[in-house]
Amino acid sequence: MSFPKHVTLMIVLIGALMTMAGSALAQEEKAASSASKSTVAGTSTDAATTASKPQESDALAAETSADKNSEAAPATESTTDASAATAEASDAKVTMEPTPEAGDTTHPSESSEKTEPSAPNAATAPVGSSPAPVQDAKPPGGVKDVQDVDILAPPPAVDNFTAKAIPYTDRIVNVHTTQTVRHGALTLVVDHRAHDTFLSGEEAFFDYLGLDAGNLKIGFGLRLGLKKYMDLGFYRLSNGTDLFDVYQFDTKMRFLNQDDAYVNASLQIGGTWFVQNDAEDAAGFLAQVNVDRRLFGTLFVGTGFAFHSNSSNDKKYYTDDDPSGAVLGYVEWRPIRRFSINLEMAANVVGYGSKYPVFAFAPRFLTHRHSFSLVVANSQYMSGDGLVSNTWRGFDELVFGFQIVREFNLVN
């Protein structure tokens, strides 16, 4: 079939117009793709910008070849998409790096390692550039930060005698030690001592180990801590087979401390007032010096000398010498902070004295500002005038008793 010449000319013109229009659309799409690639490259790092320059040259070559061959356009678009994906992955890597929270704390050495600039990579560093100098993380002048200094605290001492809330025991049983009452505290002491021995067989069972057999001795005392090294005391001992009550007033001062010196040392001085119905009152002077020391955190040993100008016991008569002096020895073993075993002895060496030294043994239980002791002794006398004069009781005439110590805080 044949067409007229003017129809053929019109078809040729229409085809030429369609070809020109398609070429114009392809040019617009390439220009938009190139602008998008430039925007992504502008937001990347310097290394990404340097790496994108060859890609831009490839893109220009692809645009030139696209005029000759329209099939090069898809390849250029895929290259552009790959470059954009690489830039997005780089941005995501920067975003995903963890940032320290406000409450986190790090050692200064770890912080300096993180903040120091790393050396530039040879693959990404610009040609001819030199590495940036590494800044010193420490302050100038060699001054170290406070956190750089490791403070080594000494290990806590294991001492069962200085535990918190345990009362200060200023005596083993009846014999005073160098320990004074806690500063600002008031200590109450209650003593109870039987007269009949608990070794009397059936009689001991019926009189409850001698505690309800009569002729008991009851002691009541108060001590006030004036200073860390000084206290003031009062003690009253009731009458028994004798007829007089004893009132003792004294003060004790510790002038050596084993933390500063090798041993503890104290001096105790005071006076005694003897009160008896239908008789004149009497008085006497007492003095005691002690030296002791804590060992291994569990053992407390000491010795001393006590003197009284008007000693007494239930076998002493008016015709006997008044003054007495005795050597003291004591030990306390505290294997744990809440329990101890106490042992004391006072042996007369000067003046009046009975046959046997005064002996006392007591297991002690300690709780919060309180202690309770079960006492086995060979004397009822618990004040200074009776401790220095020995006793007529042997070890087959031991008596039973107890002691309660309670500590109260008067000053915080």
- Assign domain 185-409 to its CATH superfamily: monomeric porin ompg (2.40.160.40)
- Where residue 133 falls among pLDDT bands split at 50, 70, 90? low
Domains of the chain, residue spans: 5-82, 185-409
Q: pLDDT tens-digit profile of 88-101?
A: 545 544 444 444 44
For residues 44 and 48, give the distance between their C-alpha atoms in angstroms, rounded to a whole number.
6
Cα–Cα dist 92/28, whole Å: 31
* Helix and strand counts by DSSP (H, E) for the chain: 6, 12
Q: For residues 41-45, give the mean pLDDT.
A: 48
Of 106-120, 306-320, 330-344, which has the strongest mean pLDDT?
330-344
| Residues 204/198, Cβ–Cβ less than 8 Å | yes
Q: What is the pLDDT of residues 193-228, one digit of tens each?
A: 998 888 877 777 777 777 777 788 999 999 999 999
Provide the pLDDT confidence category of residue 27 given band limits of 50, 70 and 90: low
Other C-beta atoms closer than 10 Å to the C-beta of 51 total 18
- In this prediction, residue 105 has a pLDDT band, given cuts at 50, 70 and 90, of very low
For residue 244, how many C-alpha atoms fall within 13 Å in the half-sphere facing its CB? 22
b/e map 135-151, b = 16+ CB within 10 Å: eeeeeeeeeeeeeeeee
Which region among 54-63, 239-248, 274-283 has the lowest average model confidence (pLDDT)?
54-63
Among 31-35, 76-80, 249-253, 367-371, top mean pLDDT goes to: 249-253
Instruction: Map residue 40 onto helix, strand or coil.
Output: helix
Q: Is the dihedral of CA 250, 224, 252, 327 positive or negative?
A: positive
What value does the mean pLDDT of the chain take?
Answer: 76
**What residue type is assigned to position 306 of the chain?**
A
Q: How many whole angstroms separate alpha carbon 83 and alpha carbon 368?
A: 78
Judge whether residue 301 has pLDDT over 50: yes
Is the pLDDT higher at 105 or at 347? 347
Higher pLDDT pick, 257 / 110 = 257
Question: Tell me: the pLDDT tens digits for 325-339?
Answer: 999 999 999 999 999
